[in-house]
Amino acid sequence: MADSKRDLEMERFRKGELNVLICTNALEEGVDVSDCAFVIRFNRPLLGQKSHIQGAGRARRSDAKIFYFDNDPDKEEGRAKLLSEVAKDESLRLTEAQREERRIDATLSIPGVYPFNPPESAKAEVNLYNCLQMVYEYCAKTMGQSLNPEDLFTYEEKVICEYPRQVRKFIKEAKYPSPEGFQQVTLERVNARWGDTKLDSVLDPSRSRNLKTEDKEKRRFLYVVAIDMHERGLL
């Protein structure tokens, strides 16, 4: 895989646009995704404590788990023994600072505002990292190959500086197809949903550091669009 393609897919995974990343051990080090909940390793020999710690360290969430799959019972028995030894090593425990960091990650929520949990417990919550995928996949399935994500948005230009003249585009409304025709979600509805909550107060800094202002604005809109689609029974 070309480096540019690899970097693109890695960034999509980090932003939450991809839920699963399949890779070789080349990404064993340096992958830092705070909301990663599972690491699954298969047909991969455990070479020691460092190998296990590096692999398990990719699962950053406080309740994260790592799984090993291998068809060789002898290897599995040896691996279980090694993991038991690793678990007893006090030097490998999380520091209090690391524990606090994970507690902070878990508190990025505002009751009644963010994230949105559908009444049906079996359905995934809606958040700023998966709302794009939810909306775009639904629209692509409904509209077919003709979908251009930008067509879902209506923009309005505003002058933010007279001299030198600077104009910026703002999203005025978003639309999506439904059995009753296109539904509109206006800026007023988006603002009403978010209320006084600032986007940066619920964004995980480690996952949003590369998001541009335009990306954040789209996610703010599509979060409300995804909720509207849920409430209409479309998701």
pLDDT higher than 80, residue 106: no
pLDDT digits (tens, 9 = 90+) for 193-207: 999 999 988 888 877
| Over residues 210-223, mean pLDDT | 92
Q: Answer whether residue 175 shows pLDDT above 90.
A: yes
The C-alpha atoms of residue 152 and residue 208 are separated, in whole angstroms, by 23
Cα–Cα distances in Å, from 42 out to 77, 136, 139?
15, 32, 35
Please give the pLDDT value at position 6.
74
Q: Which CATH number fits domain 3-106: 3.40.50.720, 3.30.1360.70, 3.40.50.300, 2.30.110.10?
A: 3.40.50.300
Domain ranges within the chain, ordered by starting residue: 3-106, 131-231
Q: 210 versus 184: which is more confidently predicted?
A: 184
pLDDT higher than threshold 80 for residue 15? no
* Three-state DSSP state, 161: strand
Tokens of 199: 């986007």
pTM: 0.56
* Count of C-beta atoms within a 10 Å radius of residue 123: 11
Using the predicted structure, report yes or no on whether residue 104 has a pLDDT greater than 50: no
User: What pLDDT does residue 203 have?
Assistant: 87
Q: What is the pLDDT of residues 50-86, one digit of tens each?
A: 566 666 666 666 667 777 766 566 766 776 676 677 6
User: What percent of the chain shows pLDDT beyond 90?
Assistant: 26
Backbone angles phi, psi at 8, to 5 degrees: -65, -45
Query: Could you tell me which residue, 183 or 235, shows the higher pLDDT?
Result: 183
Indicate whether 137 pLDDT > 80.
yes
d(CA 197, CA 39): 33
